């Protein structure tokens, strides 16, 4: 009995990704541009700066994930309603955290992240200088 269950599980395993796809229809503006080209340009510019929460390495403009489509639709609806892209960005950051934006903030809590590369370069220069002095 266990052998049959194992064989059945192994046969169905390749179908698992197909079963994981959402059966819900895509959001209304997920892949449809706004009628006003100026509004679509604003929305598209904002979408290129927002990180996909599923893919993590892509913007929502480039991602095919369902979540990215929902976020694109949300941005397009808000832009069509007259909301400014910066206000939408602030709302997304408030809701999902600073990580959702490709443009990191310069809050004091993030200063070590901005300073770390400079400190590492300075430390590397210091170590290299000491090594070169020893060789002479």
Q: Dump pLDDT digits (tens) for 81-117.
A: 999 999 999 999 999 888 888 876 677 877 887 788 9
Q: Give yes or no: residues 35 and 70 share one domain.
A: yes
Same domain for 131 and 86, yes or no, is: no
Whether residue 78 sits in one domain with residue 117 = no
Same domain, 73 and 114: no
More confident residue, 17 or 54: 54
Q: How far apart are alpha carbons 7 and 14 in whole angstroms?
A: 12
Domain of 131, in residue numbers: 106-136
Do residues 59 and 87 both lie within one domain?
yes
Within this chain, do residues 100 and 111 fall inside the same structural domain, yes or no?
Answer: no
Same domain, 122 and 67: no
Q: Would you say the pTM of this structure is higher than 0.75?
A: no
Residue 80: the pLDDT is 93
Residues 124 and 80 in one domain: no
**Same-domain check for residues 80 and 112:** no
Each residue's pLDDT tens digit, 124-135: 999 999 888 887
88 and 42 in a common domain: yes
Q: Are residues 30 and 83 in the same domain?
A: yes
In a domain, 13, yes or no: no
Total structural domains in the chain?
Answer: 2
Name the more confident of 29 and 103: 103
């Amino acid at each position: 009995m266990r052998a049959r269950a194992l064989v059945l599980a192994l046969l169905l395993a390749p179908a698992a990704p197909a079963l994981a796809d959402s059966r819900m229809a895509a959001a209304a503006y997920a892949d449809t541009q706004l009628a006003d080209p100026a509004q679509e340009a604003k929305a598209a510019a904002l979408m290129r700066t927002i990180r996909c929460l599923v893919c993590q390495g892509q913007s929502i403009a480039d991602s095919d994930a369902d979540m990215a489509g929902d976020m694109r639709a949300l941005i397009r609806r808000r832009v069509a309603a007259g909301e400014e892209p910066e206000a939408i960005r602030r709302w997304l950051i408030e809701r999902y955290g600073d990580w959702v934006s490709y443009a990191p903030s310069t809050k004091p809590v993030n200063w070590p992240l901005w300073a770390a590369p400079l400190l590492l370069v300075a430390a590397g220069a210091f170590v290299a200088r000491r090594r070169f002095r020893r060789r002479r």
